Structure 1
Amino acid sequence: MATSEESIVLLTDGAASLLAAKTATSILRYRGENVVAVLDRSRAGQTTDQAFGVGGDTPIVAALSDVPDATTLTIGIAPPGGRVPEDWRAILIEAAGRGMKLVSGLHDFLSNDPEIAAAAEKSGSVIYDVRRNNERDLAKAKDLRDDCLRILTVGQDCSIGKMLTALELIKGLTARDVDAKFIATGQTGIMIEGDGCPVDCVVSDFVNGAVEKQILANQHHEVLIVEGQATISHPAYSCVSAGLLHGSTPHGMIMVYEVGRENVHGVEHVPLQPLPKLIEAHEMLAGLRMPSKVIGIAMNSRRVSEEEAAVERERMRGELGLPIADPLRHGVDELVDAIEKLRAEVKSR
């Protein structure tokens, strides 16, 4: 899907929050060498570091004409429902007319838009709808190997840091010369990794099988870190989370939570489940397929100070008796230690 020569413009025009622009911020963090600009008329003239806290001096521009040599326009938001903002269509048509590749992770497929598709056909532009798939495999629950350790990031909520945690774990394991592979299961992860499966756009009967297919195709690696989606307690998205859990059949899980978040993202009138209850529920649900334990906690402490994060870390260590770290503030060594310990235990069985 991606090449090292790509020069990407990220489209976030008018996105009001970091959560809305999480696709852009993640691509800036993990594929920043390919990003030449962000297109956002409301922030033009700023750098991405000023606007999003990541990306360094990457400029924010007001128009495609400001980056004439860019080869790819990537939609940088992940809004609820995944719809294309109406006032973006002119920008997308212009990009297609210029012959730029269009990359979108939205549920609304750009290739289904007659005007965008016509502009792309005329110029030879390629449209890549990341969520488009034809997955039709049922899970078989066989041929999974214990010599390839499977770790799934799970969460207290959606949009909480499961992908970031998974990618940081990959970096931590790779630094220890472990052959680790990131299994992307969402649109942003796929844009970063270049492969994977968009599980929230797979027909429900085939979610487990689609995830299992990713596992079977990558078992030649020593460790697979599978990107989690939402949570099994989310009123809207629990079906995806449960299918992902059973399809990946993890040996262990890393639970992700955000300090200070009290209500479910997207349905704010619903309170979050407490972590001990969620850990127990995940272990029970995973155990219907294979015994699996939460072996560590990834803490998202973006809302609090460094000092408050340190206090919270010690409090949760005492409450849960598990390794805990904010991957960005503290690094992932403590969590990687837990993975290495589990790997040794599985090997000795």
Structure 2
Amino acid sequence: MESGNDDVLRKAMTSHRRIVLITDGYSTPFVAKTAISILRYRTDDVVAVIDQEASGTTAQQLLLAGGDIPVVGSLSAVNDADALYVGIAPPGGKLPDEWRPLILEALRRKMDVVSGLHDFLIDDEEYVAAAKQSGARLIDVRRNRHKSTAKRHRFRPGNVRIHAVGHDCSVGKMVVTLEIQRGLAAAGHDAKFLATGQTGIMISGEGVPIDCVVADFVNGAAEELVKANEQHDFLLIEGQGSISHPSFSAVTLGLLHGCAPDGLVFCYEAGRDQVKGLDNVDIPDLADQIQAYEAVANLRHPCKMIGIAVNTRNLTAEEADAELFRAEDRFGLPACDVYRTGADKLVQASIALREEVFAR
């Protein structure tokens, strides 16, 4: 069955309970970040990871997430799977040609195939024909029909919006917002995570693939996403790109003005001083970036930085502690690594922001 990608199809992803992730040949932390996050946040729904060279190991050994979920070499090693998820996000977003036989096999097995790449499944005649014959669904997470500009909506009083921004791409903005949302919910607050990228949508089953929205409609798509969820007390809005990134700053600015945050969390990776994906391009000073984010955000709505999320994955435990201390001392804001130290400081900063917003 040929299927486009709309809200119904996205929500259908949450019904998948026996997911096979494919990262075959691309199982690195940068490229396989979609698989890593699904293993972290939908662990119980994943039954296997496909990587031929690593077959016989576990997801934890291969991708440092997912525990004892097995890594297998083919679909024949998995029983009763209901979906195949493309677990990579390579530069350019192209689906690897060598995966074609495996994707066709999944469709013949009546498995839905879910992809967050720019290279749409629905545009491939062979995939469409196979899906139609078996009744499987092709779900292109980035496919969208957003065609509305922002209207400067006045969001419901009492709805507090917190948005993750960063000094570069791939520093953990999605994970930070997910962990703050989890912390707020655990403390009894009405908080919801809003996905703006393919991986977040695969985890939550809804959201806007903001980097695949036509430029004029980015602000409007972000505004509509928030508007549709403004009944919640807290909205944790996933960030994309960086305001200083030569390639992706446009989507970052569109999100800032579309979601009109009350508070920002600044994310950076310790030790990274050059832009990912570009040769010899230095990342601007962090303090200058924080000042720029606050200035640009306040053009739309009163907003301030409420915390720092440091990605310390390349540091020892002692080095990470020292980096967090330096961040708090330099910026005068609570700092944590949500992987290593948890998100409690950012959760408390979010609660304090809500009290401040109500007092205005």
Contact 2:156–2:231, Cα closer than 8 Å, also in 1: no
Report the 3-state secondary structure (helix = DSSP H, G, I; strand = E; otherwise coil) of the residue aligned with 1:153.
Answer: strand
Counterpart in 2 of 1:226?
A: 237
AA matched with 1:234? H
Q: Contact conserved, 1:4 with 1:34, CA < 8 A, in 2?
A: no
2:351 pairs with 340, 346, 349, which one?
A: 340
Deviation per CA, 1:60-113: give whole Å up to 9, x if none: 000011003111000000111110011011111111111100000000101111
Query: Is structure 2 residue 340 aligned with structure 1 residue 306?
Result: no
The aligned counterpart of 1:134 is: 145
Q: Does 1:152 align with 2:166?
A: no
- Structure 2 alignment gaps of length 5 or more: 1-11
Cα deviations across residues 206-257 of structure 1 (Å, max 9, x unaligned)?
A: 0000000011110110100000001011111111100001000000100000
Task: Give the aligned length.
Answer: 349
**Counterpart of 2:93 in 1: which secondary structure?**
coil
Letter in 2 for 1:215: V
Identity of aligned residues (%): 51
Residues 149 and 251 in structure 1, CA contact (< 8 A), matched pair in contact too: yes
Query: Which of 50, 55, 59 is 1:48 aligned to?
Result: 59
Aligned to 2:135: 124
Q: Which of 200, 217, 229 is residue 206 of structure 1 equivalent to?
A: 217
Per the alignment, in what secondary structure is the counterpart of residue 144 of structure 2? coil
CA distance in 2, matches of 1:195, 1:141: 23
Aligned to 2:259: 248
Letter in 1 for 2:278: V
Match for residue 334 of structure 2 among 301, 304, 323: 323
Query: What TM-score results when the alignment is normalised by the length of structure 2?
Result: 0.95
Name stretches of at least 5 consecutive residues in structure 1 with no aligned partner: none
- After TM superposition, give the deviation of residue 16 of structure 1 in Å: 4.3
RMSD over aligned Cα atoms: 0.9
Q: Which whole-Å CA distance do the structure 2 matches of 1:171 and 1:142 have between them?
A: 27
Q: Counterpart of 1:297 in 2: which secondary structure?
A: strand
Query: What does residue 264 of structure 1 align with?
Result: 275
1:289 correspondence with 2:307: no
- Cα-to-partner distance string for 1:137-185 (whole Å, 9 max, x where unaligned): 1100023123100000000101110000010001110111011010100
Q: Return the offset for 1:5.
A: 5.4
CA contact (8 A) 2:58 2:70 kept: yes
How far is 1:4 from its partner? 4.8
- Quick check: 1:107–1:131 contact (8 Å CA) kept in 2? yes
- Tell me if the contact between 1:41 and 1:62 (Cα under 8 Å) persists in the aligned partners: yes
SS in structure 1 of the partner of residue 47 of structure 2: strand
Which residue type is aligned with residue 207 of structure 1? V
Asked if structure 1 preserves the Cα contact closer than 8 Å seen for 2:243 and 2:253, the reply is: yes
Say if 1:146 and 1:346, in contact at 8 Å, map to a contact too: no
Residue of structure 2 equivalent to 1:93: 104
Describe the SS at the equivalent of 1:42.
helix
2:89 and 2:339 map into 1 onto residues whose CA distance is 22
TM-score (norm 1): 0.98
Q: Which stretches of structure 1, 4 residues or longer, exceed 4 Å deviation after superposition?
A: none
SS at match of 1:89: helix
